[in-house]
Amino acid sequence: MQLTEQYKIIDFRECGDERGNLVVVEGHQDIPFDIQRIFYIYGSDATVVRGSHANLNSQFVLINVSGTSKVKVTNGTDTEIINLDRPRMGLFLDRMVWKEMYEFSADSVLLVLASEHYDEHEYVRDYNEYLTMMQDGVNE
């Protein structure tokens, strides 16, 4: 499968008015799954690299609700870097995409919506193991 089919940038609806902004994210409408879990990452800085894993089952949507960060995604063949730089932008990541989040701004709050509950067993954290799995067609 092509990397371009494994991630997607989503522009959420914004209902802004003179009182400020309001961004709407609805499960199964704005994002392509039921939200089973949310977590958020803050207090990471420009020197930190997070993620560095792929997930056998989970799909994610990443949103920098405050500040900015970068996400490097790869399927072992192709690589893209996505700048998360506005609160109404979401990055959908499909199963088995290898991801690294880095260059967090000091005010970065990275919200993550996940399609599954946490299960450490579905994390692939060794990049060589990941490459072998991709070569063996886990992603087909």
Shortest distance, CB of residue 114 to ligand TYD, whole angstroms? 7
Smallest distance from the beta carbon of 39 to ligand TYD, in angstroms? Answer: 5
Tell me if residue 134 falls in helix, strand or coil.
helix
Give the amino acid at 3: L
Q: Which is nearer to ligand TYD, 16 or 43 (CB)?
A: 43
Q: Are 124 and 99 in contact (CB under 8 A)?
A: no
How does DSSP classify residue 89? E
In the structure encoding, which two tokens stand for residue 12, read together?
Answer: 């959420």
Q: Provide the 10 A C-beta neighbour count for residue 99.
A: 20
Alpha carbon of residue 55 to chain centroid? 11
Q: Min. distance of Cβ 140 from ligand TYD in angstroms?
A: 25
Cβ-based nearer residue to ligand TYD, 30 or 122: 122
Nearest to ligand TYD of 24, 46 (CB atom): 46
Determine whether 121 is an active site residue: no
**Residues forming the site for ligand TYD (CB under 6 A):** 37, 39, 41, 50-51, 53, 118
Residues that are catalytic: 53
